[in-house]
Amino acid sequence: MGSIYNQIIDLETHWQGFNKKPFSKNDLIELAERNNIVVLKDHSVENACVFHYDGKKVVLYNPHQPDIDFTLSLGHELGHIGLGHVHPHSSPLHANFFSNSSIEKDAGIIGFLFWAPSSDLHQMDIVGRLNLEEIYNNCKDYRYGDIDGSDIEKICKARLRIYNALKRIKN
């Protein structure tokens, strides 16, 4: 079993509802606060970033972004924290949804699971309807904001890739 898969199972236990239900902006902020993470608005960051300051983990986020970007970016930063990437002397980590570095990829996976939980995709899979259109329809109602079409497709494709990769690790 790959370690990211085991870490996801641990986070499902530690973070109530994670990867079982979609997280809204407020759900994410509440989860962060319950875990003593300081969450602050900052217009100077592109999406979000995370660092360690004065004994606390701090996430800065730009409030002017579509809901889906907010979920992916704040979820990504919580992923860095949950996966143990944030240390007292590490440099700030910025959300990059499509980076190839392994810690960025792993944090990105956590962000995507906050947005579209594996349980939803699994339901589509067992009835033979796991495809981009279904992922889009499942998530479009309150999680896209005003994001444009090409990004939605890219995000749905990334989510499907993550589902399939986790399924391969699990089996």
Q: Which residues bind Zn ion (CB under 5 A)?
A: 93, 104, 107
Residue ranges in 35-94 assigned as alpha helix (H)? 67-82
CA distance 108 to 102: 10
The first and second tokens of residue 84, run together, are: 């143990």
Least spacing, CB of residue 95 vs Zn ion, in Å: 5
Rounded Cα distance, 122 and 167, in Å:
10
Taking CB positions, which residue lies at the least distance from Zn ion? Answer: 93
- Calculate Rg over the CA atoms of the chain: 15
- Specify the residue, 28 or 93, whose C-beta has the smaller distance to Zn ion: 93
How far, in Å, are 98, 115, 164 from residue 126 at the CA level?
28, 20, 13
Rounded alpha-carbon distances, angstroms, from residue 167 to 18, 159, 163? 17, 12, 6
Rounded least distance, CB 60 to Zn ion, Å? 13
Closer of 69 and 104 to Zn ion (Cβ): 104
CB of 104 to Zn ion, least distance (A): 5
Q: Which is nearer to Zn ion, 68 or 107 (CB)?
A: 107
Nearer to Zn ion, 45 or 116 (CB): 45
CB of 49 to Zn ion, least distance (A): 8
